[in-house]
């Protein structure tokens, strides 16, 4: 059963979930996030998820050293909002690493952390604030798609990035916006603003504003491919 059809309302999801704290990384509904898992605590988290509901929350840390992508221990603070995803792809490599893909389902609000005897963190979450995330394509009509595509083309050209423009044009506005937000090169605060945007139009507006500011400042690392 496709992920979008498996989860249609908050009660379709567990309220106690493992979370993967990753600074500068977000997940959004129906977008995909590939992850390379190698730390023992997160290998254990993936194994736990496979034995239970196959869902993992992605959330940004607010504590720990700023240069730590995922701080050690359980004492650092977490953002209050993250996104839960289903483990839709899994590969175990010969060196012990796991390559997984999470497909976003719905954003969540952390209610409390559970003091579980696990090397990873478990939290109690609520989804009621984000029930619109369950509705595929909600808010697409309000998005200025023409402006979004125009700015995206200028951004790709300015940074000498290549993209499959035919696939970009064919993609739904929701899929395009959420995928661009997940793969965008912005910092933790900007990523969190994209995650917490109230609706799809607001998210697109933030994404456009960030791209325009970057182009105006001449920032970015030129070269590469947008996939």
Nearest to 107 by CA among 88, 86, 133, 87: 133
Q: Is the dihedral of CA 167, 171, 177, 178 positive or negative?
A: negative
User: pLDDT digit string (tens) for 22-70?
Assistant: 999 999 999 999 999 999 999 999 999 999 999 999 999 996 667 788 9
pTM, two decimals, is 0.91
Residue count of the chain, please give it: 227
Q: What CATH architecture applies to the domain 3-134?
A: Roll (2.30)
Q: Kindly list the domain boundaries of the chain, sorted by start residue.
A: 3-134, 140-226
- Short-list 140, 212, 127, CA closest to 178: 140
pLDDT tens by residue, 119-143: 999 999 999 999 999 999 999 999 9
């Amino acid at each position: 059963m496709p992920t979008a059809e498996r989860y249609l309302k908050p009660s379709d999801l567990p309220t106690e979930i493992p979370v993967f704290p990753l600074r500068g990384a977000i997940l959004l509904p129906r977008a995909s996030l590939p992850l390379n898992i190698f730390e023992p605590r997160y290998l254990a988290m993936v194994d736990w998820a496979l034995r239970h509901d196959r869902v993992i929350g992605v959330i940004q840390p607010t504590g720990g050293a700023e240069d730590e992508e995922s701080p050690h221990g359980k004492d650092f603070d977490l953002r209050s909002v993250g996104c839960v995803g289903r483990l839709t792809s899994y590969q175990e490599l010969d060196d012990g690493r796991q390559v997984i893909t999470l497909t976003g389902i719905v954003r969540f609000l952390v209610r409390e952390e559970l003091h579980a005897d696990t090397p990873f963190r478990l939290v109690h979450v609520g989804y009621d604030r984000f029930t619109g995330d369950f509705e595929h394509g909600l808010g697409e009509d309000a998005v200025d798609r023409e402006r979004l595509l125009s700015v995206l083309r200028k951004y790709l050209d300015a940074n000498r990035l290549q993209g499959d423009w035919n696939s970009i044009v064919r993609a739904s506005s929701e899929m395009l916006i959420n995928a661009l937000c997940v793969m965008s090169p912005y910092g933790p605060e900007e990523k969190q603003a994209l995650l917490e945007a109230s609706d799809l139009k607001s998210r697109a507006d933030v994404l456009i504003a960030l791209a325009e500011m970057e182009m105006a400042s001449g920032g970015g690392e030129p070269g590469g491919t947008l996939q």
